Structure 1
Amino acid sequence: MDAAPLKPFQLSQPERRAMLSRHFVGLVEQLVRDAGSYSDVSVEAIIKAGGISRSTFYVYFADKGDLLVAIAHDVIADLVASGNAWWQLPTDASRDDLRRALRAPIDTYREHRTILATVTETAAYDPRVREQQQLLVDRVVSALADYICNAQRNGAIDATLDVNRVAQWMVWMFERGLYQLIGGADDEETDRLQDSLTDIVWRVIYQR
């Protein structure tokens, strides 16, 4: 028999904070689209959209920047998780396999393009958001570096590649490309960009 779901009062404060931040993702995305930028969205607007009291908001978040940190953790974590489609490829994967795997993070970014663009823009001036972004980027770099190392040991990837630096370049190139190119692209242009990204990754990492 399945256990009964936990009720809010049974959760710890960090768990309730995480639950609230997930609740706010779609609401904040809509507020940002309406206002034009996160800096123009007031705490009052966030509270009203979320259907909670001001006192409840400040129990879990110091300010709207702190809320964005919590949202960033959730949404960027989703983006990181979607990258598993690449890390889980066999080392002898084909170019078509790679293309399909790279589509997963592209689609996740498009789903949350508003909030992820907000995170990127806010990270430029809010050290809390920048730290959250950096921590999660570091996780992706580490995952890609491990994947390249394993493939090198199997003889599937050029053993002379500088693993850590190649992983750093790839991940930051991908992050910037999602923001600058994928964020505003329609379906047809997204397909073309996906092809170009596949070409770059294939030639740098896989093609011998």
Structure 2
Amino acid sequence: MMTPQVLDYLSVFVFALSGALVASRAQLDIIGFLFMACLTAVGGGTVRDLLLDRDPVFWVGDPMPLAIACAGAVLVFFTAHLLESRYRALLWLDAAALAIAVAAGASVAMGLGQSVPIVLVMGVATGTLGGLMRDVVCNEVPLVLKQGELYVTAAFAGAGAALLAAAFLPQPIAPVLACILVTFALRAGSLAFGWRLPVYRARPPRD
């Protein structure tokens, strides 16, 4: 069974890679890589645990996530130059990390017996806030705010899929798989095929 701890480890590693890629685009030193990787990797999960009053926060009680994030930072520091398009790699790594992190957040909330709205919010928060911190700190346009792209929508739909799977399927792994598949499919569709939500268009006021 894929436990919330395993999901946290996976999302930490993949988000750390994306944070380190942003550091490479900003041409930071190795300490900058480590900082960005750790911030991105644990940001969403930290907010989740604080809001759910989990004591201790997941990386405080178990420092392994920090070690995983640092390993990802060092890996990218020495290999980022091999990528033809670091931004394209960033987008796809972020999509994978988003899917895993949403599943981690929803799993933790469901494991604590939280209500449907809280499960949805914790899934979205865990999946999106680390990347948001990463982009803001490095002065990038946050992916979560890109015009019309399926990002928060994908996270919300994935958390909803986890709830539906938990209600109708007996297998313990079903909510995790449903969440990951739905979140990644929607985010990947937005990246590969241009799936978008309609955006607000300003119009002149009527006389």
Question: How would you bin the TM-score normalised by the shorter chain?
Answer: 0.3 to 0.5
After TM superposition, the score normalised by the length of structure 2 is 0.33
Q: Which has the larger radius of gyration?
A: 1
After TM superposition, the score normalised by the length of structure 1 is 0.33
Q: Which has the higher contact order (CA 8 A, sep 6+)?
A: 2
